[in-house]
Structure 1
Amino acid sequence: MSLNSKNPFLNNKTFSTTAVSKKDEVHQATIIDYNQDMTLSGTINKSLILFLLLLASAIVVWWLAFNGMNPIALTIGGAVIGLILVVIAAFKPQYAPFLAPGYALFEGLFIGGISAIFEAKYPGIVIQAVGATFVTFIVCLGLYKYKIVKVTEQFKSVVVAATLAIATYYVLSWVFSMFTSFVPVHYGNSLMSIGISIFVIVIAALNLFLDFDRIEKGVAQKMPKFMEWYGAMGLMITLVWLYIEFLRLLSKLNSKN
């Protein structure tokens, strides 16, 4: 994968200029509506559809959780299947029109379950995390739209390097904590742990700029129509990550009270 974006979708070579030459080949290989080019409005519409699907399934799990059902199975199942769909779409982006809605539905199970768990422990935390995610998205979109923040190659390199470092740290921490008595420093509510959460949120937010840039370039390069679903799915992945990190940070702050 290239280093254009850590997002597992938007760093795929499908968003490179070489993908344009494959457009006619993809048209012939599929029967989905690929006879049109990717547009910004189309990507926005697809993003809204995915958001509504995710919200719908999340609400179902939320309702079940607060009516006596343990949401753990749906939460884990949604996360695992959602990840599988992401991996498939990363290698087969032409199937994004089918995979993206499925991802939104299964990821909604995960979001609904994890949100219910956090809400039960810290009442009011979910609305705070949702609000923080929404505000962050709007601010980043505004900064990108008005060119206050420009996505240069150096910007990409720094954000991707930081994101890879975070991913590596999380994986190693999980492995060590599973097989040893090691307690990762981002656990608990210490100042160090809170500081790490803030740093991760900043990096997740910066990834939004990379996502906006990839989508804009996909439109400019006249990518095939299915890339609207692909781009929308990639953006949704980043927003889910950002929301989860806000939940983690707010839970640490609430536990100190």
Structure 2
Amino acid sequence: MRSSNPVFSRRGFSRDNGSAGFNAAPQAGGAAVGTAPGPVTGNPYADAPATDPYANNPYAQADVQYGVPQAPPTADRMTMDDVVTRTAGTLGTLIVFAALAWAVLPVDEANLGKSYGIAIGAGLVAMVLGLVQSFKRKASPALILTYAALEGVFLGVVSNVVDTHIADGAAMQAVIGTMATFVAVLVAYRTGLIRVNRRFVGFVMAAAMGFVLLMAVNLLFAAFGGGDGLGFRSGGLGILFGIIGIVLGALFLALDFKQVEDGIRYGAPKQESWLAAFGLTLTLVWIYMEFLRLIAILQGND
């Protein structure tokens, strides 16, 4: 299973191909590396025991050679503690810089243009850094933390503008909504209410592509025609698409949880925990922005 998140999808945090890129052997139900994909037989997410993707690793071969059955070293393998620690560090950096931007960059009428310019510049650089990291073969902690800091500046200014000029208290409501969504999806995933399988992934990918395409069309109409384009980000349609955006973000979270779980199960390198933190941060920023936009529309219509 490939994640819709570009960070995870390039790292093979998946069950149908083990941990591709981590010397993992192909799993049942997935196409072998280097071959054209064929018909899938059986459910790759069934409860049957999965083949050990590290059966052919050098540690296992050494054990067989010397006749001493030993567990392969795990000190360099990703654990849940690693993911939690790196995610907390990345989100913590984002929150600190968002708070600094909120406090330092004024959003009154006289300084709004300057602060907006800084926010847009930081957001564009953060987007470029995010794309660079998404397509790098290895995680770069410095790059990820720089992205988080710049994204924090962008979110801090935008949140302050919405909170000050459009909807008082919107930022805190968006934070609470994002946290509630994260907890709800995590509980639903852990209890089996959400089962991530091929059909689930296909649905999320199709919905995401349709959503992004509509937003891109709306942006083009807004850029060349002025106003809000086709109206997908204001009024009744804005509320509808805000809800859809939040739901899509929640579905992305479920995919991210599955990718992290599979990465840990199949022994992804410890450094990959930075990529897990980066991917989760991207999804949480998406959800927060959709909540902030939705709250601004709802309170702006009062």
TM-score (norm 2): 0.76
Residues 142-168 of structure 1: CA deviation (Å, up to 9, x unaligned): 111122211111011101110111111
Q: 2: distance between equivalents of 1:5 and 1:14?
A: 9
Which residue is equivalent to 2:36?
none
Query: Which of residues 231, 236, 240 is equivalent to 2:281?
Result: 236
* Structure 1 range deviating more: 93-102 or 120-129: 93-102
Quick check: 1:94 aligned with 2:138?
Answer: yes
Which residue is equivalent to 2:201?
156
- 1:41-190 alignment to 2 at 5 Å? 41-66=81-106, 69-70=111-112, 71-121=115-165, 122-181=167-226, 183-189=229-235
Do 2:218 and 2:232's aligned partners in 1 also have CA atoms closer than 8 Å?
no
Give unpaired runs (5+ residues) of structure 2. 25-53, 58-73
- 1:10 is paired with a residue whose SS is helix
Larger Rg belongs to: 2
Do 1:57 and 1:109's aligned partners in 2 also have CA atoms closer than 8 Å?
yes
The structure with more helix, counted as a fraction of residues: 1
Q: 1: distance between equivalents of 2:142 and 2:266?
A: 23
TM-score (norm 1): 0.88
Q: 2: distance between equivalents of 1:129 and 1:67?
A: 19
Letter in 1 for 2:81: S
Q: 2: distance between equivalents of 1:7 and 1:90?
A: 9
- 2:195 is paired with a residue whose SS is coil
Letter in 1 for 2:97: S
User: Higher relative CO (CA 8 A, sep ≥ 6), structure 1 or 2?
Assistant: 1
TM-superposed CA distance for 1:93, in Å, is: 4.0
Letter in 2 for 1:123: D
Residues 199-229 of structure 1: CA deviation (Å, up to 9, x unaligned): 1111111110001011111111111111100
Residues 93-113 of structure 1: CA deviation (Å, up to 9, x unaligned): 413322211111111011101
Give unpaired runs (5+ residues) of structure 1. 25-33
Do 1:194 and 1:252's aligned partners in 2 also have CA atoms closer than 8 Å?
yes
Q: 2: distance between equivalents of 1:129 and 1:249?
A: 9
TM-superposed CA distance for 1:14, in Å, is: 4.3
Tell me the matched-pair count: 245
- 1:188-227 alignment to 2 at 5 Å? 188-189=234-235, 191-227=236-272
